[in-house]
Amino acid sequence: MDLDLRQVRYAVTLADELHFGRAADRLTIAQQTLSAQIRTLERRLGVPLFTRDRRHVALTPAGKTFAERGRRLLADAERLVDEITHTRTPLRIDVVAEGLPSTLLIPHLRSQAPDMPFEVLQSHGMSAALPRLRTGDLDLAFGRPFGLGRPLGAALATMPLGLDPIGVIVPTDHPLAERDEIPLAALADHPLLIHSADESAEWHDWADQAVAAFGLKVATRVRGQGRTSALAAVQALRHPAFGRTSAHLPDGLTARPLTDPVPLYPWHAVWNTTTPHPAVNQALELIHTYSRTHHWHRPPSTNWWLPESDRDSLRGSGTDQTS
């Protein structure tokens, strides 16, 4: 039988989401259309790809095989079109959001690989990037691959890149602003503002683990996207918040490093090994060299902290585990 690539894409997207509503939204079609197309595909194949009831969608063994091979088929079809039309599909890179270490990699790639076409996207979190990585709509993403509520899956590979020291952002007239550096335990007297996007479950998880590990209090939780939104929340609500200390701050706010221990946020590159873009290996080599040259992988010489899941991932990666 001849396969309809449109139906293959529908099945692969549903396999990623395991939810008809979310899959239909990604495909920009009606949920009823998606359901009808999946039924048609299953009838033509003569086997069920999914089991479903009112609450759950799951892959059958045949569905798992179809989804895995289907991703490769869609990637091959895209490359075939590129070769015939003499075009090059750009490497699609997700840098998460503005003001993060991942954004520094873009000018490096442009200077070191000027002939490599790529597009830069901002998903605002690994939770939003994962579905697109699995389908091949995204080639490379950066972030923390933990605290997502489910494992990455066998198709996705990770490479540790760096450990970013996290400090605290406060209004300039806040009592904490009077210190040059702040012991992490001292935050227990100053309830925190926790700012996170729905797309960044991994950051939310990291912050919650830090709060629990050091007996901190949460004054309020604010949902929003990006550094600008987080800083505006600190200015308006006047509670300290976790944040990077090296980026520019608007008037009225200041950053202070946290010590004893220094909390670290880990960064990884994440990509799909089953549908790799032809340029992904070259990009990974350049990114790895940049992170090592700039010592992103080195933790501070003083006492530092990471969630245990992150420590486990760094063992054997060449990162010094002494803390």
- The pLDDT score that the predictor gives to residue 322 is 46
Q: Quick count: other Cβ atoms within 10 Å of Cβ 23?
A: 24
- Whether residue 273 sits in one domain with residue 145: yes
Residue 315 has pLDDT above 80, yes or no: no
- Whether residue 270 sits in one domain with residue 157: yes
- Whether residue 280 sits in one domain with residue 240: no
The dihedral through the CA atoms of 283, 284, 285, 290 has a sign that is positive
Mean pLDDT in residue range 55-62 = 90
- Whether residue 78 sits in one domain with residue 97: no
Can you name the residues that pair with 192 across neighbouring β-strands? 218
CATH of the domain at 68: 1.10.10.10
- Whether residue 218 sits in one domain with residue 97: no
Residue 55 has pLDDT above 90, yes or no: no
Q: What is the pLDDT of residues 118-135, one digit of tens each?
A: 899 888 899 889 888 887
Mean pLDDT in residue range 107-117 = 89
118 and 90 in contact (C-beta within 8 Å)? yes
- The pLDDT score that the predictor gives to residue 212 is 95
Residue holding tokens 């449109």?
Answer: 6
Peptide bond before residue 261 is cis, with ω within 30 degrees of 0 = yes
- The pLDDT score that the predictor gives to residue 85 is 64
25 and 10 in contact (C-beta within 8 Å)? no
- Whether residue 108 sits in one domain with residue 52: no
- Whether residue 214 sits in one domain with residue 156: no
- Whether residue 172 sits in one domain with residue 33: no
Residue 222 has pLDDT above 80, yes or no: yes
> Which residue range forms the structural domain that includes residue 226?
164-264
Q: What is the pLDDT of residues 162-197, one digit of tens each?
A: 999 999 999 999 999 999 999 999 999 999 999 988
Position with higher pLDDT, 122 vs 319:
122
97 and 226 in contact (C-beta within 8 Å)? yes
Provide the percentage of residues in the chain whose pLDDT is more than 70: 95
Q: Which tokens hold the place of 162?
A: 């760096």
- The pLDDT score that the predictor gives to residue 105 is 92
Residue 77 lies in a domain: yes
Residue holding tokens 């790895």?
Answer: 288
CATH of the domain at 129: 3.40.190.10
Mean pLDDT in residue range 211-237 = 91
Mean pLDDT in residue range 108-125 = 89
Q: What is the pLDDT of residues 75-108, one digit of tens each?
A: 788 778 767 765 667 889 999 888 888 999 999 9
DSSP-assigned letters across all residues of 253-297: EEEE-EESSEEEEEEEEEEESSS--TTHHHHHHHHHHHHHHTTTT
Mean pLDDT in residue range 300-308 = 92
Residue 234 lies in a domain: yes
Average of per-residue pLDDT values in the chain = 88
- Whether residue 22 sits in one domain with residue 10: yes
Q: What is the pLDDT of residues 10-29, one digit of tens each?
A: 999 899 888 898 888 888 88
pLDDT band of 232, cuts 50, 70, 90: very high
260 and 184 in contact (C-beta within 8 Å)? yes
Residue 320 lies in a domain: no
- Whether residue 145 sits in one domain with residue 215: no
- Whether residue 74 sits in one domain with residue 53: yes
Total number of domains constituting the chain: 3
Of 80-94, 216-230, 260-274, minimum mean pLDDT range: 80-94
Residue 319 lies in a domain: no
Look at residues 34, 63, 85 and tell me which one is the last residue of a structural domain: 85
